[in-house]
Amino acid sequence: MPRQPRIDIPGLLQHVIVRGIERRNIFRNNTDRRDFVDRLSTLLIETDTDCYAWAMIPNHFHLLLKPKGCELKHFMRRLLTGYAVNFNKRHRRSGHLFQNRYKSIVCEEDTYLLKSGDIIPIMQ
């Protein structure tokens, strides 16, 4: 059965979850974490995307994103491909880093955020 298409419209608040293949660590050290945060920060600015929250766990990460200047799929392709290429070079490995495709959940802003008047993006 084919997978369902994503709702991917600029301006939607989305909770994104990405896990390492076989639940392996995708952040092994501070260099990995720094590379990911630097790449994320740069893309947020380049694509006019707001990031309201993020969490990096050794084998996965969560992002609460609101893309305004592009579709989420373009943002995620650049983030995941660039990070995986650098990770593989740094750790002398090859192959996939992430398990399946990323998961994205469209969020109602009022449910996910306390007060819409108090929203301040963490990164822009």
pLDDT tens digits for 37-50? 999 999 999 999 99
Q: Please state the domain count of the chain.
A: 1
pLDDT confidence of residue 1: 58
Asked whether residue 80 is domain-assigned, the answer is: yes
Asked whether residue 77 is domain-assigned, the answer is: yes
CATH of the domain at 43: 3.30.70.1290
- Residue 90's domain comprises 14-107
The mean per-residue pLDDT over the stretch 96-111 comes to: 85
Measure the CA–CA gap between 68 and 62, rounded to whole angstroms: 19
pLDDT > 60? residue 103: yes
pLDDT confidence of residue 116: 46
Asked whether residue 113 is domain-assigned, the answer is: no
Average pLDDT across the chain, whole number: 87
Measure the CA–CA gap between 6 and 77, rounded to whole angstroms: 14
Asked whether residue 117 is domain-assigned, the answer is: no
pLDDT > 70? residue 61: yes
Question: What are the two backbone dihedrals, phi and then psi, of residue 26, each rounded to the nearest 5 degrees?
Answer: -110, -10
pTM: 0.84
